[in-house]
Amino acid sequence: MKYRSAFDIIGPVMIGPSSSHTAGAARIGRVARTLFGKLPKKAVISLYGSFAKTYKGHGTDFAIVAGLLDFDTFDERMPKSLEIAKEMGLEVEFRTEEAVTDHPNTVKINLVDGETKLEIVGISIGGGTIEITELNSFPLKLSGEHPAILVVHQDRFGIISSVTGILSKYQINIGHMEVSRLDKGEMALMVIEVDQKIEDSIIEELQNIPSVSQIIRMAE
């Protein structure tokens, strides 16, 4: 395995006993919070594999909730996140699942606030490194380490070139990109990780592309 930096080996600065079970879990929760865009009213957290077996002892429970509260991995409030969530009106439900997954440190998070709903599946790879593998039934690969946008659109001819054309016009370099769709001609999702911050004016231009229904920007 090739590591991108020393921090991938020693892990991030963090509160908790395990980079995989605590820091990684917190980062998955925080990505879910970013994608949802606000504090949800309810979170149903389904744990698989090693997460399911050791989530209380390794602090996976309070770490995921800390991420949902938008706490960073080194935030001293992390161990008290379950109590803080209750005070803030966030209802949390944990479920342990027996299904076998591709990675032992897997979590599915369902967030709800009225009619607004979001479901993500994330894995904690190690050293605090994570990957989001599914969003609302769309398969994807999102690390959360780089500026990124998620483009929700209808599966139509020319949409991909329109999006990449705008990014090229503003000299935004694409580091990773993938596209998935539910079915031919139906809803599709672009995941684009870039090397630079994407300004609000560029997001607005992308949003005005015909057949683009939503742009979700990950925090830089």
The values of phi and psi at residue 144, to 5°, are 75, 5
Mean per-residue pLDDT over the chain, rounded:
86
Please, is 143 exposed, middle or buried when counting C-beta atoms within 10 Å of its C-beta (0-12, 13-18, 19+)?
middle
What digits encode the pLDDT tens for the residues 154-181? 999 999 999 999 999 999 999 999 898 8
Question: What domains does the chain contain, in order, with CATH numbers?
Answer: 7-142 (3.30.1330.90), 148-217 (3.30.70.260)
CA dihedral sign, ordered 61, 55, 42, 186: positive
Residues across the chain: 220
What digits encode the pLDDT tens for the residues 74-106? 889 999 999 999 999 999 999 999 887 888 899
Predicted structure pTM score: 0.77
